């Protein structure tokens, strides 16, 4: 493979490409801020993210990060604090996919929107931050990458300056974000205090060497605060409160972007930190308890809150927002299982879920974007009988809904049932509780997802609704997402393999 | 189809009518006489073949052949056999040959009669009618020559279906469908026990064959001899239980108490159907089945005693009800029930020959009476109330005299056929009864029934044919054609002479060999080993006593029954053979209402259906909708309620979010802290 | 590759039909659906398998490809047929074609979607019966829900939305429970299994079973899993008291959906019970025989009593399906050749008969636009042929000899009567009383609706049913009689596949 | 003379709690922002104190990063507060509640 010849820093290419694209767009913006050359801007963004995707895929297939004995290249650490391994590449791929979809979709969504270039550059910047999060393996880099992802996101959510909803969403997102990052940093400081290190590997070394003895409660509090930071990023309880409002108020593509990519990024740092920095056994020695308990609780609470709150929503976008909280709960199972052996299976399942989620959830939000583009309204009733007028898009929506519900023949089935399988495979009481919660919640989710299907397919169309156009970009993005959601059912093998391998490598 | 000589055509006996069924169903519309022709030819063919079989059996041959294996499989039967075949086979021995002839003969005559009764009256839906007749004949014949219990059961059910369809032939009325439903349901109730019996026997002995060494009869015999335990009972008891279960079907089909209620209602069907199905053949199926597996019952005195008692009781019970009916067909219906009671009595006391003998005679004279009634109904322009008739004697002589012949036979007046068979039954009952009190009771009831029989029979005859016409319909009757007369005459002759088949009393008194039927059934010409009168005789556990010498006993028995029959007829003559008969209701007093309403048997069964079953069903339904389904819906509404509560957390005020966030965080901290013992 | 072809034809056909114009969709779908019929009949003639698919039997048309590696466990595309599944596949294909033709009259809206969904169901149903890998099987098993949900929801009656969602969620939850239980079992089996291939798991179960998991002893775990899976399938079958989704779904569903629902979807439940509970857990079957037999009897009698109380023809047939499924359970728990074989036969037989019944009711409904017994009378006067078939079907339902229903019931009774568990004869006799009640409500319904003077509450002009409504019913009737006269057509292959189950795996 | 580590930690915790209190009680967006700044600075105190304690510079360097990011955060925040004011004519964070439940 040609990867050998490349200089090490090139390993970060997926993230760098994003950054470069962002800068390019900045430059363009500063030259002609009022430009509305949509195809150029969207094209650049899409091209950038696709390139990043391509490179990431190439690297991971080329074997970057796989242990060398398997003929892989082993992980590459170009800079102290940034590592490129299977885990990183996997999530870079997820981020890139979502970014590409969002960029393409925005092409139509941003018709007659004032500042187009800044929008795309912010998106790319956030994407860069998320890719960085995937690679960060020191609390410093993690924090920086996290902020790099967050700050543009705040702006993006509020970017519709004259739309009260958008602004309100931005405000809430920002305020809670600021609070959370404060807590997060404080957590970092405590961990640093307890161990004297910010580099994950060193932290682990100190903990295992017993160098932090006596600072148990300090470390415990720190870990808990870190968890808070992740919970915020992944929209998990109790830091989820921003999510429904932010997703509802934000421009739909941004909701898609945040609920899919940003969530995935949040999970990758969580995986990274808790697999590398806090070896379960040693940490338990120190802080007196197995921190996965926290995730067990969070998982159950999060999926329950998300699904229950989603069940009776009238606003489609808000329903999706809550459902994305619920899915965060599902993915948390991956973290909750880390203690036991066989944990890599569950963590892998969680990673698979995040990838599939990147397609189905993005697609779902993009359909909302389409609906907003059509201006048909936001509630379920407004969606009634859309299939009569837009069969293809609605077919895609049906795919997304059932896939989110985890009903075959869609990819969502695999990841959800693998999570379920994994939870059971651990076999501990806690995990059984989680599995039980999963059953109850998925029953409920079935109810509200099929509500949307019912609206578009079963209900009679609203009489007073004009003709609906077929915006190229949105349609393209939605259809690609749908096709992938279906195709991944058959082609799930490689993904499952990649995910489990990455998880195994991370846990090793 | 393996077989020897004429026997290789045996299956055709049943298949001809089946073909007729298909033809009539498909092409009936386009055929002259709407498919009657097909039916007549088919049944005639069956008759010819049956007679051939009869001749062959007379020639000493019998036929027992498996035609087609239905299915087979493993069975964990109690007596060792580890495999079982369920097959369709043909068993032609004296009994079945005789029955085949009876059935096909009556079938032909009824088909012919139908030309006059249905076609001439311009009924609609005739193809359906003839198709169903054909299907019935097929099923009945197949039932008759069935060589195993399961096959018998299957065609037993099929004749039930045909009976249902034919009773409901006039489906546009309200009464006919209801009667059809009742007929099927009541018999079905009996068949429920029958089916259990079949299953039980098959599961016990691993075979359902009637004849041969591998028959369940033989198996049961050995089991009893070895004193095997079957399903936790000793063999004797188990045989009794299974036998009684099968008897359930018999009681249903042969309209014995308490499952007799359907038969009178079944008169809603065309009279031809009543003649064929509800008098001569299908109702006989039950009794025939008992005769067919008589060896099995012979193993169980208890079962036999019960059969006898039920028979005797039914004979009397039904006869009393027949006394007060106005509808000519109703009278005949109850007399049918009563007569089958006699047959059961006969078989129950081990009078195998007597039972079969009466079965044969009854088939003829009751078919005759029904067809006669049919003729009367034609004459009366479809009026069935006897009180509107009268004085038909001179206007329709053929009908009158044939009907009279049938009546005499029914009443058991010497020398008509009915006398001989009934007398033989009573005689057998008497001699056994002298030893067994239960049987004696049965005998007594049978004897009393003779009086009533004579009474209602001649009440019917006098009201219908004698006295003055009591309606203008009776003034100028509608003429009847040859299609009606031919069958009447044929059967009339048979009713008169059929008795010759077995003049047992004559033999006993004079020693003249006039007991063809007995020797016939005893296999002197030819029989399947083990299915003969004498073979059954050996199995029977009955003691027989006599009053004085055997001759005296015979004379006493015959005398008493004749006396009663005559007195019954006499009373009828006295009361009703007058120009203007009156109902004489008061003479009966309170009993009258009881009899009119059939001892409230129907009310009771209707109450069972509507007063008990339906409320239960409705209650179950309510329970299902409220409790069970309510739970299901309750779960969902609870979750949705919870959902409504949960989403209220999201107040929309960002400060609350921060507060809740911190609260949640602290909550987590406390939980983990306590768990990890930080403080 | 034959099975793949079978499924592929249905799937591709579904897609083609989706995009076809509504006008021709019905005819097109029917034409397509004939291909699977022919194929499956060819499979039927070419069937060369023997023994049980899960118990080292030699499979017909087997094919297996590695699919996904999940930890140490591999998931594969693994299909094959044995004497149990093949008849059900044939049932599926034939019933689908019949259902499609029978929907030409009633379905007059969004046809292409309708027929597309029907073909899609067919594909998944075939998959359910052919799949031999747990995950593959489960995919097909669940994928059936979506099209059925839509069929009921879009083309159903007034309360269709309620019925559809109830069916959807209820059965899906049941599946989740069952799934969890089975997965726990697989992990409990530990190293003895390395894939989700059912034969492998079955073998492992018969060679000692799991050695403890979830902090449970091996045997306890097995029992728990057995019960959980039984409950999971009980909803699908459905067994009292998990049956309440069925009448709603049936009453609201359009005729063809009812046909498939009663004809095949219910069989999925009993088929799964046979494949999983009664093949892999012989010990538990023995332990829980009496309670299960009791449940079966209750289903039979209770279901029949409910049917007795209904006035909606479809509801009557729906509840009677509950009753009939009770027989199947009884036959399975009998655990004798005739019992289990008869149960399997009854699955097929009841599939055809209930399908026929729903079609006949549907034809009457098309003409009268009512299904209430109280609304009509004397229909035989107006539509003699359809009514004739209805009557024939009703008697088939009552188990009239020489129709398949009788064979199924008789063999079940016969098998159950000699079962080993306590009071088997008693249970059997109780269950058999169902044949009286079924006659009761069906004859009552017939008397009220098709006989008597012609009356109709709704103001529709009732004429004779069109030919394409009659033809499929005649075909089904023919099959029913054929199977009743010559049951060994399928019973031999069924018993051949059943015997290994009873002998605990030995061929 | 040097101050014991505990005091630094106590100080930072106090600061953190003050900030948190502000966040929970102040309805003015700017006050909210400042309270968050307090919390961040509490973290900084920790970092520096611990850096001193552990004798490595990581903490101090990280503290610098934190300040920078805090500044950036404030920048974005002020922007948002600006549009907030433009849309709601108010900087009270409890006013915008169009989206709830």
- Confidence grade of residue A70 (pLDDT, cut at 50, 70, 90): low
Q: Do A192 and D50 touch (CB under 8 A)?
A: yes
Residue D96: inside a domain: no
- Residues 436-495 in A contacting B (C-alpha not used; CB under 8 Å): 444, 447
User: What confidence tens digit (pLDDT) does each residue in B522-546 have?
Assistant: 888 878 877 888 888 888 877 878 7
CA–CA distance, C226 with C233 (Å, rounded to integer): 11
Chain A residue nearest residue D42, CA to CA: A186
- CA nearest neighbour of A347 among A275, A242, A447: A275
Pick the residue of B664, B670, B679 with the most A CBs within 10 A to test the interface with A by mutation.
Answer: B664
Q: Do A439 and C168 touch (CB under 8 A)?
A: no
Residue C63: beta bridge partners? C79
Looking at the complex, report in whole angstroms how far the Cα of residue A232 sits from the nearest Cα belonging to chain D: 15
Specify the residue for token string 């311009």: B122
Looking at the complex, report in whole angstroms how far the Cα of residue A415 sits from the nearest Cα belonging to chain C: 11
Residue C284 has pLDDT above 50, yes or no: yes
| Chain A contact partners (≥3 CB pairs within 8 A) | B, C, D
CA dihedral C221, C226, C228, C233 (to 10 degrees): 160
Q: Do A492 and C183 touch (CB under 8 A)?
A: no
Quick one: pLDDT at residue A3? Answer: 53
Residues of D with Cβ-Cβ distance to B659 under 8 angstroms: 24
- Cβ-in-10-Å burial (0-12, 13-18, 19+) of D24 comes to middle
- Cβ-in-10-Å burial (0-12, 13-18, 19+) of C351 comes to buried
Q: Which two tokens stand for residue A412?
A: 């969502």
Residues of B with Cβ-Cβ distance to A294 under 8 angstroms: 668, 672
For residues A450 and A465, the answer to whether their CB atoms sit within 8 Å is no
- Confidence grade of residue B80 (pLDDT, cut at 50, 70, 90): low
CA–CA distance, A172 with C295 (Å, rounded to integer): 56
Q: Which two tokens stand for residue B343?
A: 């047959």
Chain A residue nearest residue C153, CA to CA: A458
Residue A63 has pLDDT above 70, yes or no: yes
Q: Do A182 and D33 touch (CB under 8 A)?
A: no
Looking at the complex, report in whole angstroms how far the Cα of residue B631 sits from the nearest Cα belonging to chain D: 28
Element (H, E) at B89: strand B83-92
Overall residue count recorded for chain B in this entry: 679
Instruction: For chain D, list residues whose CB is within 8 angstroms of any CB belonging to chain B.
Output: 20, 23-25, 27, 93-94, 96-101
- Confidence grade of residue C136 (pLDDT, cut at 50, 70, 90): very high
CA–CA distance, C98 with C259 (Å, rounded to integer): 9
For residues A152 and A122, the answer to whether their CB atoms sit within 8 Å is yes
Specify the DSSP class assigned to residue B88.
Answer: E
**C452 phi/psi in degrees, rounded to 5:** 80, 175
- Residues 166-195 in A contacting D (C-alpha not used; CB under 8 Å): 167-172, 174-175, 178-179, 181-183, 185-186, 188-190, 192-193
For residues B67 and B88, the answer to whether their CB atoms sit within 8 Å is yes
Mean pLDDT value across residues A434-459: 92
Mean pLDDT value across residues B377-381: 85
Quick one: pLDDT at residue A56? Answer: 93
Specify the DSSP class assigned to residue B200.
Answer: H
B666 touches chain D (CB under 8 A): no
Asked, as a colleague might, if the bond just before C241 is cis with ω within 30 of 0, I would say yes
Domain containing residue D15: CATH number: 1.10.287.3510
User: What confidence tens digit (pLDDT) does each residue in B540-567 have?
Assistant: 877 878 787 888 888 888 888 899 999 9
Percent of chain B with pLDDT over 70: 99
- CA nearest neighbour of C124 among C100, C141, C136: C141
Residues of B with Cβ-Cβ distance to A288 under 8 angstroms: 676-678
* Structural domain containing residue D50: 5-88
Q: Which two tokens stand for residue A187?
A: 């957590």
For residues A256 and A362, the answer to whether their CB atoms sit within 8 Å is yes
Looking at the complex, report in whole angstroms how far the Cα of residue B171 sits from the nearest Cα belonging to chain C: 5
- CA nearest neighbour of A369 among A91, A96, A113, A46: A113
Residue D44: inside a domain: yes
Residue D94: inside a domain: no
- CA nearest neighbour of B381 among B121, B122, B170: B121
Q: For chain C, what percentages of helix, strand and coil (3-state, to nearest 5) are there?
A: 75, 5, 20
- CA nearest neighbour of B292 among B460, B100, B96, B561: B96
**Out of A26-40, B438-452, C218-232, C470-484, which region has the weakest mean confidence (pLDDT)?**
A26-40
User: What confidence tens digit (pLDDT) does each residue in B190-204 have?
Assistant: 999 999 999 999 988
Q: Which two tokens stand for residue C1?
A: 């590759």
Asked, as a colleague might, if the bond just before B487 is cis with ω within 30 of 0, I would say no
Residue D33: inside a domain: yes
Tell me the C-alpha to C-alpha distance, in Å, between residue B73 and each of A78, A268, C73, C93, C417.
75, 62, 40, 28, 15
- CA nearest neighbour of D81 among C45, C105, A171, A43: A171
Residues of C with Cβ-Cβ distance to A425 under 8 angstroms: 71, 183, 187
- CA nearest neighbour of A328 among A310, A297, A352, A354: A354
Percent of chain B with pLDDT over 90: 33
CA–CA distance, D8 with D48 (Å, rounded to integer): 9
For residues B370 and B275, the answer to whether their CB atoms sit within 8 Å is yes
Percent of chain C with pLDDT over 90: 73
CA–CA distance, A170 with A254 (Å, rounded to integer): 11
CA–CA distance, A307 with A325 (Å, rounded to integer): 8
Residues of B with Cβ-Cβ distance to A183 under 8 angstroms: 665
- CA nearest neighbour of C439 among B184, B176, B56: B184
From the list A164, A181, A245, which residue is nearest D87 (CB)?
A: A164
Asked, as a colleague might, if the bond just before B258 is cis with ω within 30 of 0, I would say yes
Q: Do D69 and A318 touch (CB under 8 A)?
A: no
The crossing angle, in degrees rounded to 10, of helices B437-465 and B417-433 is: 160
Looking at the complex, report in whole angstroms how far the Cα of residue A261 sits from the nearest Cα belonging to chain B: 23
Residues of B with Cβ-Cβ distance to A242 under 8 angstroms: 657
Quick one: pLDDT at residue C297? Answer: 95
- Confidence grade of residue A1 (pLDDT, cut at 50, 70, 90): very low
Q: Which two tokens stand for residue C224?
A: 């728990």
- Cβ-in-10-Å burial (0-12, 13-18, 19+) of D89 comes to exposed
Residue C233 has pLDDT above 70, yes or no: yes
* CB neighbour list of residue B542: distance below 8 Å, 6 or more residues apart: B301, B304, B349, B350, B432, B435, B436
Chain A residue nearest residue B648, CA to CA: A309
Q: Do A154 and D80 touch (CB under 8 A)?
A: yes
Pick the residue of D16, D18, D22, D24 with the most B CBs within 10 A to test the interface with B by mutation.
Answer: D24
**Three-class DSSP category at B657:** helix
Quick one: pLDDT at residue A467? Answer: 83
**Three-class DSSP category at A114:** coil
Quick one: pLDDT at residue A115? Answer: 78
**Out of A109-113, A141-145, A435-439, C284-288, which region has the weakest mean confidence (pLDDT)?**
A109-113
For residues A437 and A463, the answer to whether their CB atoms sit within 8 Å is no
Quick one: pLDDT at residue A75? Answer: 82
Residue C68: beta bridge partners? C75
CA–CA distance, A257 with A153 (Å, rounded to integer): 9
Strand C376-377, strand C73-81: pairing: unpaired
**Out of A355-369, B569-583, C325-339, which region has the weakest mean confidence (pLDDT)?**
B569-583
Compute the Cα dihedral for C472, C474, C479, C484 and give only its sign: positive
Residue predicted with more confidence, B346 or C459: B346
Residues of B with Cβ-Cβ distance to A305 under 8 angstroms: 646, 649
Residue B91: beta bridge partners? B64
Residue predicted with more confidence, B76 or B106: B106
Residue D98: inside a domain: no
CA–CA distance, C183 with A422 (Å, rounded to integer): 9
Pick the residue of B642, B643, B654 with the most D CBs within 10 A to test the interface with D by mutation.
Answer: B654
- CA nearest neighbour of A348 among A138, A505, A130: A505
Chain C residue nearest residue A432, CA to CA: C214
Residue B1 has pLDDT above 50, yes or no: no
Q: Which two tokens stand for residue B286?
A: 């039950």
C-alpha distance across the termini of chain D, in Å: 56
Percent of chain A with pLDDT over 90: 66
**Three-class DSSP category at B6:** helix
Quick one: pLDDT at residue B101? Answer: 92
* CB neighbour list of residue B61: distance below 8 Å, 6 or more residues apart: B4, B5, B7, B526
Instruction: For chain B, list residues whose CB is within 8 angstroms of any CB belonging to chain A.
Output: 636, 639-640, 642-644, 646-647, 649-650, 652, 654, 657-658, 660-661, 663-665, 667-669, 671-673, 675-679
Residues of B with Cβ-Cβ distance to D98 under 8 angstroms: 652
CA–CA distance, B670 with B441 (Å, rounded to integer): 91
From the list B161, B200, B609, which residue is nearest C400 (CB)?
A: B161
Q: Do B647 and D27 touch (CB under 8 A)?
A: no
Mean pLDDT value across residues C226-243: 92
- Confidence grade of residue C507 (pLDDT, cut at 50, 70, 90): very low
Quick one: pLDDT at residue C506? Answer: 58
- Confidence grade of residue A461 (pLDDT, cut at 50, 70, 90): confident
Residue predicted with more confidence, C346 or B480: C346
| DSSP of C274-312 | HHTHHHH-HHHHHHTHHHHHHHHHHHHHHHHHHHHT--B
Q: Do C172 and A443 touch (CB under 8 A)?
A: yes
- CA nearest neighbour of A429 among A293, A325, A328, A324: A293
Secondary structure of B348-397 in HEC code, one letter for each residue: HCCCHHHHHHHHHHHHHHHHHHHHHHHHHHHHCCCCCEHHHCCCHHHHCH
Mean pLDDT value across residues D71-79: 93
CA–CA distance, A40 with A299 (Å, rounded to integer): 42
Count of pairs with CB atoms under 8 A, one residue in A, one in C? 92
Quick one: pLDDT at residue B36? Answer: 84
Domain count of the fold of chain D: 1
Quick one: pLDDT at residue C30? Answer: 95
Tell me the C-alpha to C-alpha distance, in Å, between residue B334 and each of B263, B365, B408.
8, 15, 17
Q: Which two tokens stand for residue C112?
A: 């292409």
C and D touch with 3+ CB pairs <8 Å, answer no
For residues B376 and B392, the answer to whether their CB atoms sit within 8 Å is yes
Strand B83-92, strand B229-230: pairing: unpaired
For residues C177 and A439, the answer to whether their CB atoms sit within 8 Å is yes
Residue B384 has pLDDT above 50, yes or no: yes
CA–CA distance, A281 with A38 (Å, rounded to integer): 54
CA B427 to chain centre: 25
Specify the DSSP class assigned to residue C195.
Answer: B
Neighbours of A20 (CB within 10 A): 16
Mean pLDDT value across residues A307-313: 92
Quick one: pLDDT at residue C505? Answer: 61
Q: Average pLDDT over chain C, rounded to whole?
A: 91
User: What confidence tens digit (pLDDT) does each residue in B113-151 have?
Assistant: 888 888 777 778 888 889 999 999 999 999 999 989 999
Q: ipTM of this model?
A: 0.91
């Amino acid at each position: 493979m040609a990867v050998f010849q490349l200089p090490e820093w090139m390993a970060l290419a997926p993230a760098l490409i994003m950054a470069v694209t962002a800068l390019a767009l900045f430059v363009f913006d500063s030259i002609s801020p009022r430009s509305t050359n949509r195809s150029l801007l969207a094209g650049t963004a899409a091209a950038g993210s696709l390139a990043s995707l391509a490179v990431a895929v190439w690297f991971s297939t080329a074997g970057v990060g796989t242990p060398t004995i398997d003929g892989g290249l082993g992980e590459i650490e170009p800079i102290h604090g940034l590592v490129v391994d299977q885990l990183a590449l996997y999530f870079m791929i997820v981020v890139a996919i979502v970014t590409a979809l969002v960029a393409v979709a925005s092409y139509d969504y941003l018709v007659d929107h004032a500042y187009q270039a800044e929008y795309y550059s912010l998106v790319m910047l956030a994407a860069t931050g998320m890719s960085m999060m995937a690679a960060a393996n020191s609390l410093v880099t993690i924090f920086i990458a996290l902020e790099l992802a967050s700050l543009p996101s705040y702006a993006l959510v509020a970017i519709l300056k004259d739309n009260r909803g958008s602004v309100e969403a931005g405000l809430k997102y920002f305020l809670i974000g600021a609070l959370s990052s404060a807590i997060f940093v404080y957590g970092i400081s405590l961990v640093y205090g307890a161990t004297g290190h910010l580099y994950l590997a060193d932290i682990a070394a100190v903990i295992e060497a017993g160098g932090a003895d006596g600072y148990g409660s300090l470390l415990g509090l720190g870990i808990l605060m870190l968890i808070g930071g992740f919970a915020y990023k992944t929209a998990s309880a109790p830091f989820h409160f921003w999510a429904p409002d932010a997703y509802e108020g934000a421009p739909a593509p941004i909701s898609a972007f945040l609920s899919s990519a940003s969530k995935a990024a949040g999970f990758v740092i969580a995986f990274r930190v808790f697999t590398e920095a806090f070896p379960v056994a040693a940490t338990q020695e120190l802080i007196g308890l197995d921190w996965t308990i926290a995730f067990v609780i969070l998982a159950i609470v999060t999926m329950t809150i998300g699904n229950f709150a989603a069940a009776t929503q009238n606003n489609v976008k808000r329903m999706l927002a809550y459902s994305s909280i619920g899915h965060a709960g599902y993915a948390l199972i991956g973290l909750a299982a880390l203690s036991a052996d066989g944990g890599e299976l569950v963590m892998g399942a969680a990673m698979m879920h995040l990838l599939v989620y990147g397609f189905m959830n993005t697609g779902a939000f993009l359909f909302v974007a389409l609906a907003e583009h059509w201006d048909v309204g936001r509630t379920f009733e407004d969606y009634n009988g859309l299939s009569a007028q837009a069969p293809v898009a609605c077919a895609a929506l049906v795919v997304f809904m059932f896939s989110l519900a985890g009903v075959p023949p869609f990819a969502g089935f695999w990841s959800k049932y693998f999570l379920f399988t994994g939870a059971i495979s651990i076999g501990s009481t806690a995990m059984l509780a989680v599995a039980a919660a999963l059953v109850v919640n998925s029953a409920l989710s079935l109810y509200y997802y099929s509500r949307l299907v019912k609206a578009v397919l079963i209900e009679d169309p609203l009489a007073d609704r004009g003709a609906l156009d077929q915006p190229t970009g949105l349609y393209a993005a939605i259809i690609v997402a749908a096709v992938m959601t279906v195709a991944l059912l058959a082609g799930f093998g490689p993904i499952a393999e990649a995910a489990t391998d990455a998880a195994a490598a991370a846990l090793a | 189809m393996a077989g020897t000589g004429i026997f290789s055509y045996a299956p055709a006996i049943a298949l001809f009518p089946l073909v007729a069924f298909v033809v009539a169903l498909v092409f009936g519309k386009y055929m002259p006489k709407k498919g009657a022709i097909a039916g007549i030819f088919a049944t005639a063919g069956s008759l010819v073949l049956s007679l051939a079989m009869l001749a062959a059996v007379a020639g000493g041959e019998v036929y027992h052949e498996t035609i087609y294996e239905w299915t087979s499989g493993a069975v964990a039967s109690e007596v060792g056999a580890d495999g079982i075949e369920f097959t369709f086979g043909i068993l032609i021995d004296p009994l079945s040959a005789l029955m085949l002839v009876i059935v096909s003969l009556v079938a032909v005559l009824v088909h012919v009669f139908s030309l006059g009764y249905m076609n001439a009256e311009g009924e609609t839906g005739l193809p359906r009618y003839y198709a169903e007749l054909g299907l019935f004949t097929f099923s009945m014949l197949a039932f008759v020559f069935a060589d195993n219990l399961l096959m018998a059961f299957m065609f037993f059910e099929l004749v039930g279906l045909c009976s249902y369809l034919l009773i409901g032939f006039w489906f546009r009325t309200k009464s006919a469908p209801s009667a059809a439903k009742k007929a099927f349901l009541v018999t079905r109730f009996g068949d429920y026990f029958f089916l259990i019996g079949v299953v039980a026997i098959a599961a016990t002995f691993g075979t359902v064959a009637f004849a041969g060494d591998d028959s369940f009869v033989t198996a049961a015999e050995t089991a009893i001899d070895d004193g095997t335990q079957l399903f936790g009972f000793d063999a004797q008891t188990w045989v009794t239980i299974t036998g009684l279960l099968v008897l359930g079907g018999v009681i249903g089909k042969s309209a014995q108490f308490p499952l007799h209620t359907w038969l009178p209602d079944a008169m809603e069907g065309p009279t031809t159907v009543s003649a064929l199905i509800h008098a001569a053949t299908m109702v006989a199926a039950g009794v025939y089945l008992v005769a067919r597996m008589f060896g099995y019952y012979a193993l169980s005195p208890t079962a036999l005693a019960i059969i006898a008692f039920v028979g005797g009781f039914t004979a009397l019970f039904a006869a009393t009800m027949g006394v007060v009916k106005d509808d000519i067909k109703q009278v005949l219906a109850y007399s049918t029930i009563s007569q089958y009671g006699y047959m059961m009595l006969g078989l129950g006391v081990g009078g195998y020959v007597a039972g079969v003998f009466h079965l044969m005679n009854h088939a003829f004279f009751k078919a005759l009476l029904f067809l006669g009634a049919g003729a009367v109904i034609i004459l009366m322009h479809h009026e069935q109330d006897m009180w509107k008739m009268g004085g038909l004697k001179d206007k329709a002589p053929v009908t009158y005299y044939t009907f009279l012949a049938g009546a005499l036979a029914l009443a058991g007046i010497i020398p008509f056929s009915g006398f001989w068979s009934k007398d033989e039954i009573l005689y057998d009952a008497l001699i056994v009864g002298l030893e067994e009190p239960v049987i004696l009771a049965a005998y007594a009831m049978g004897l009393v029934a003779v009086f009533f029989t004579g009474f209602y029979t001649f009440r019917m005859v006098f009201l219908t044919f004698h006295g003055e016409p009591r309606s203008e319909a009776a003034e100028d009757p509608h003429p009847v054609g040859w299609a009606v007369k031919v069958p009447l005459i044929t059967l009339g002759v048979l009713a008169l002479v059929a008795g010759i088949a077995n003049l047992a009393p004559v033999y006993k008194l004079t020693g003249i060999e006039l007991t063809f039927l007995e020797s016939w059934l005893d296999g002197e010409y030819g029989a399947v080993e083990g299915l003969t009168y004498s073979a059954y005789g050996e199995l029977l556990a009955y003691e027989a006593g006599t009053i004085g010498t055997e001759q005296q006993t015979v004379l006493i028995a015959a005398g008493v029954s004749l006396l009663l029959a005559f007195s019954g007829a006499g009373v009828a003559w006295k009361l009703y053979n007058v120009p203007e008969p009156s109902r004489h209701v008061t003479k009966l007093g309170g009993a009258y209402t009881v009899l009119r309403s059939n001892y409230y048997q129907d009310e009771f069964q209707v109450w069972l259906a509507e007063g008990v079953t339906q409320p239960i069903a409705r209650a179950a339904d309510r329970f299902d909708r409220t409790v069970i389904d309510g739970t299901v819906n309750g779960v969902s509404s609870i979750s949705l309620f919870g959902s409504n509560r949960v989403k209220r957390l999201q107040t929309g005020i960002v400060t609350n979010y921060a507060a809740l966030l911190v609260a949640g965080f602290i909550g987590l901290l406390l939980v983990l802290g306590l768990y990890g013992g930080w403080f | 590759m034959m099975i793949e072809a079978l499924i592929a034809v249905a799937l591709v056909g579904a897609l083609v039909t989706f995009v076809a114009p509504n006008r021709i969709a019905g005819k097109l779908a029917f034409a397509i659906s004939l291909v699977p019929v022919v194929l499956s009949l060819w499979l039927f003639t070419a069937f060369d398998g023997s023994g049980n698919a899960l118990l080292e039997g030699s499979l017909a048309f087997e094919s297996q490809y590695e699919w996904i590696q999940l930890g140490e466990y591999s998931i594969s595309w693994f299909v094959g047929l044995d004497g149990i599944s093949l008849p059900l596949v044939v049932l599926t294909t034939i019933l689908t074609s019949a259902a499609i033709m029978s929907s030409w009259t009633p379905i007059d809206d969004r046809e292409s979607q309708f027929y597309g969904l029907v073909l899609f169901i067919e594909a998944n149903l075939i998959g359910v019966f052919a799949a031999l890998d747990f995950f593959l099987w489960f995919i097909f098993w669940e994928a059936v829900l979506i099209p059925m949900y839509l069929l009921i929801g879009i083309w159903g009656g007034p309360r269709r939305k309620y019925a559809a969602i109830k069916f959807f969620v209820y059965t899906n939850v049941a599946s989740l429970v069952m799934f969890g239980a089975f997965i726990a079992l697989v992990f409990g089996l530990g190293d003895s299994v390395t894939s989700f291939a059912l034969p492998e798991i079955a073998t492992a179960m018969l060679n000692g079973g799991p050695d403890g998991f979830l902090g449970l002893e091996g045997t306890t775990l097995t029992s728990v899993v057995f019960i959980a899976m039984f409950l999971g399938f009980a909803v699908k079958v459905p067994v009292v008291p998990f049956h309440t989704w069925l009448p709603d779904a049936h009453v609201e569903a359009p005729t063809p959906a009812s046909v498939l629902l009663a004809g095949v979807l219910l069989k999925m439940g009993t088929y799964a019970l046979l494949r999983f509970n009664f093949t892999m857990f012989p010990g538990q079957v023995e332990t829980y025989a009496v309670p299960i037999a009791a449940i079966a009897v209750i289903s039979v009698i209770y279901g029949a009593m409910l049917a007795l109380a209904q006035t909606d023809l479809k509801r009557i047939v729906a509840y009677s399906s509950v009753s009939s499924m009770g027989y199947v359970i009884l036959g399975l728990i009998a655990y004798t050749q005739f019992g289990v074989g008869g149960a399997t036969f009854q699955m097929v037989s009841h599939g055809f008969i209930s399908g026929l019944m729903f079609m006949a009711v549907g034809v009457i409904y098309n003409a009268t636009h009512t299904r209430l017994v109280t609304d009509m009378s004397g229909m035989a006067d107006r539509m003699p042929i359809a009514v004739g078939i209805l009557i024939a079907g009703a008697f088939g339902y009552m188990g009239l000899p020489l129709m398949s229903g009788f064979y199924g019931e008789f063999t079940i009774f016969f098998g159950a009567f000699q079962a080993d568990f306590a009071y088997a004869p008693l249970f059997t006799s109780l269950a058999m009383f169902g044949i009286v009640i079924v006659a009761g409500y069906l004859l009552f319904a017939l008397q009220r609706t098709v006989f008597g003077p012609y009356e109709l509450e709704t103001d529709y002009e009732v004429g004779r049913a069109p030919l394409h409504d009659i033809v499929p019913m005649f075909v089904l009737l023919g099959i029913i009689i054929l199977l009743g006269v010559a049951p060994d057509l399928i019973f031999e292959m069924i018993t051949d596949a059943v015997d290994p189950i009873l002998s605990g795996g030995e061929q | 003379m040097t101050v014991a580590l505990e005091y630094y930690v106590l100080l930072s915790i106090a600061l953190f709690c003050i900030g948190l209190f502000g966040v929970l009680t102040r309805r003015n967006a700017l006050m909210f922002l400042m309270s968050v700044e307090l919390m961040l600075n509490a973290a900084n105190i920790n970092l520096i104190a611990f850096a001193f304690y552990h004798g490595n510079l990581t903490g101090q360097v990280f503290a610098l990063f934190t300040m920078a990011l805090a500044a950036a955060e404030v920048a974005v925040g002020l922007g948002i507060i600006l549009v907030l004011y433009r849309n709601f004519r108010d900087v009270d964070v409890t006013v915008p509640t169009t989206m709830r439940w």
